[in-house]
Amino acid sequence: MINATVRWTSQGEDFAKNRYSRAHTWTFDGGVEVAASSSPDIVPVPMSDASAIDPEEAFVASLSSCHMLWFLSIAAKSGFEVQEYRDEAIGEIRKNDAGKLFIALVTLRPQVTWATDREPTDDELCQMHHQAHEECFIANSVKTEIRIDPQKVGN
C-alpha cells in the first residue's frame, strides 16, 4: 500500500471568483511534509507558490528517481560502483488528440560518476539504463513517452 495525504485549507480568499491560493501540503507515511502548489506556469502567482513543488515537477522527479534507484541496483549487481548519479530530467507538456494538456515526453539525462576505474562500456551502460527503464514501476504505469539520454561527466 502506498500512502500520501494531500491537504488544502482555505485562507479566506474569494473562492467563488477562483481567486484562492493553490498552496497545499503533501505528507508521506514516513512523516515528511512537502510544500506543494499548482505550477505558476498554469496558475499565476500569488495564487500559486513558486517555491513549492507542483504536480508536474513531482511526476518528472518520480520517473527520474525510480529510474535512478533501479539503475543503482543494477550497477551494483553488475559489479560497478557508482560515486554520484545526477539527472536533470525535463518534461514536455503538449495537447493530446482530445485537446487536453498532458505530459507527453519526459527525457531523463542521467550523468553517472563511477567510484573506481572499472567503468561499463557504452553498450553495458545502455543495457543497464534499458533494464532500469523496464523495471521502473512508475514508467510501467504511465503512457508518457520516456527517453533516456545518458550524459558524459563533464558535459
Do the domain assignments include residue 130? yes
Long-range interactions of 76-84: CB distance < 8 A, separation 24+: 78/120, 78/124, 78/128, 79/118, 80/114, 80/118, 80/119, 80/120, 81/114, 81/115, 81/116, 81/118, 82/112, 82/113, 82/114, 82/115, 83/113, 83/114, 83/115, 84/112, 84/113
Q: Contact 91/106 with Cβ under 8 angstroms?
A: yes
Helices 122-135, 55-77: inter-axial angle, 10-degree rounding: 120
Judgement on whether residues 31 and 80 belong to the same structural domain of the protein: no
Do the domain assignments include residue 153? no
Judgement on whether residues 37 and 71 belong to the same structural domain of the protein: no
Judgement on whether residues 39 and 59 belong to the same structural domain of the protein: no
Domain interval for residue 35 = 1-53
Do the domain assignments include residue 98? yes
- Coil, strand or helix at 45: coil
At residue 33, does pLDDT exceed 70?
Answer: yes
Judgement on whether residues 88 and 135 belong to the same structural domain of the protein: yes
Confidence (pTM): 0.92
Judgement on whether residues 64 and 30 belong to the same structural domain of the protein: no
Judgement on whether residues 4 and 28 belong to the same structural domain of the protein: yes
> What pLDDT is recorded for position 152?
85
% of the chain residues with pLDDT over 90: 92
Q: What is the pLDDT of residues 91-141, one digit of tens each?
A: 999 999 999 999 999 999 999 999 988 999 999 999 999 999 999 999 999
> What pLDDT is recorded for position 98?
97
Do the domain assignments include residue 74? yes
The count of domains in the chain is: 2
